[in-house]
Amino acid sequence: MFDIQEIRSQFSILDREVNGKPLVYLDNAATSQKPNSVLEVCHAYYTELNANVHRGIHTLSQLATEEMELSRRKIQKFINAEHDFEVIFTKGTTEGLNLIAYILTQKLQKDDEIIISYLEHHSNIVPWQMLCERTGAKLRVIPIDENGILQLDYLDQFLSEKTKVVSVNQVSNALGIVNPIEEIIAKTRKNSDAYIVIDGAQSAPHFNIDVQKMDCDFFVFSGHKMYAPMGTGVLYGKREILEALPPFHGGGEMIATCSFEGTTYAGLPFKYEAGTPNVGGNIALGAAVDFMQKVGHQNIQNHENALLEYAQRQLLELEGIKIYGEKAHRTGVVSFNLEGIGISSDVGMILDKMGIAVRTGHHCTQPIMNFFNIAGTVRASFAVYNTFEEIDALVEGVKKAQRMLS
């Protein structure tokens, strides 16, 4: 049974008011709220277990280590990785993508090529530009059409023996468009030996992820977008690839032996987890996985898709609404503007006065905004705890914004 009120009761923050109005939180693509079960795990770690991991023989250290490694195994099952040591804890998607771009430096040379798409977040653009600067490689970009849909004929043209990396997101954060990554991966495997990187920041909160079936080389996502604390995330990489590539950071935990004459590196996953990890956050990430699995991936997806369909239908009944990616396959996001109102933040501020939290601006996707010749959009994004009544409140807020700003 899917009981929306029971789910909402697990999120204490949803009971608060903003500007004297009940909070309507529709900024989930930026960060989701956290259920009490996740917050309780964080509190329990710092009040009952607080100790460093993998380094102490005392009881607290052993217990903390056991809890963090249990979380790693939960995440392994969550994404269906073959081995738990293929799950690397990070600060989030951005760190994961930068890590990959750094450790691939020695694998690229002048005139090699990296393929990304027009729909990428800046964190899946800038690290590859920096890699090109280091190596002399070139960046190629799969274009989109007027509906925001990737033009994969260009991928066919781009792929060659020069292609060393193909990195795309599974879901666009700005538009909510679901990209055909199965087709992208199949084309890449057929026509090159490139490393395949999938940005799952916006898909892991919504979809059932199976990295083995997907057959990507790397998959990255953030905890804070899927009901876990900020500063948590995961990099998945195939065992044979991670073992063959160099470390990212140097320091404690990632060494096997260290002397002034030289250092040898630890095995996976510790080779890529230098320094003290976010132990409490990593344990809580496992609790967030527990929450999502208890609700059920299919229930989450069905509810969020129903919210998206309802929101789009209600908004399009208003005059002067432009929804970007309207005709594309999307999930969890409706990104729109009001005709004749050039600054999306003005709409966002009016909605905020009504207790409605949305995101405005370019959403760290300036190339998308440039393509549509706009400065930004109003983005409402949904999570499992959102309701149809909140969509109604959003629509009423947009009507008020139209009256005030037109």
Model pTM greater than 0.95?
yes
pLDDT band at 343 (very low <50, low <70, confident <90, very high): confident
Q: What pLDDT is stored for residue 341 in this prediction?
A: 80
Q: Which residue among the candidates 132, 216, 258, 364 is catalytic per the annotation? A: 364
What does pLDDT average to over the chain?
97
Could you tell me the two tokens for 190?
């057929």
The helix-helix angle for 93-103 and 126-135 (nearest 10°) equals: 10
Amino acid at the residue 363: H
Is the preceding omega at residue 22 within 30 degrees of 0, hence cis? no
The helix-helix angle for 59-79 and 279-295 (nearest 10°) equals: 40
Distance separating alpha carbons of residues 196 and 215, to the nearest angstrom: 9
pLDDT band at 158 (very low <50, low <70, confident <90, very high): very high
Instruction: Reply yes or no on whether the pLDDT at 1 is more than 90.
Output: no
Neighbours of 337 (CB within 10 A): 22
Residue 316 sits at φ, ψ, to 5 deg, of -70, -15
Sequence spans of domains, the chain: 4-30+296-405, 39-294
Instruction: Reply yes or no on whether the pLDDT at 357 is more than 80.
Output: yes
pLDDT in tens, 159-179: 999 999 999 999 999 999 999
Just give the CATH number of 4-30+296-405: 3.90.1150.10
Distance from chain centroid for Cα 222: 5
Q: Mean pLDDT over residues 55-83, rounded? A: 96
Q: Mean pLDDT over residues 358-380, rounded? A: 97
pLDDT in tens, 124-149: 999 999 999 999 999 999 999 999 99
pLDDT in tens, 101-128: 999 999 999 999 999 999 999 999 999 9
In 185-309 the beta strands, taken as DSSP E runs, fall at 195-199, 218-222, 233-237, 255-259, 262-265
Instruction: Reply yes or no on whether the pLDDT at 342 is more than 80.
Output: no
Nearest to 90 by CA among 226, 203, 248: 248
pLDDT band at 406 (very low <50, low <70, confident <90, very high): confident
Q: What pLDDT is stored for residue 57 in this prediction?
A: 93
Q: Say which DSSP state 105 is in.
A: G
Q: Is 42 a catalytic residue?
A: no
% of the chain residues with pLDDT over 90: 98
Nearest to 304 by CA among 385, 201, 378: 385
**Strand partners of residue 321:** 338
Is the preceding omega at residue 269 within 30 degrees of 0, hence cis? yes
Judge: domain 39-294, CATH 3.40.640.10.
Answer: yes
pLDDT band at 313 (very low <50, low <70, confident <90, very high): very high
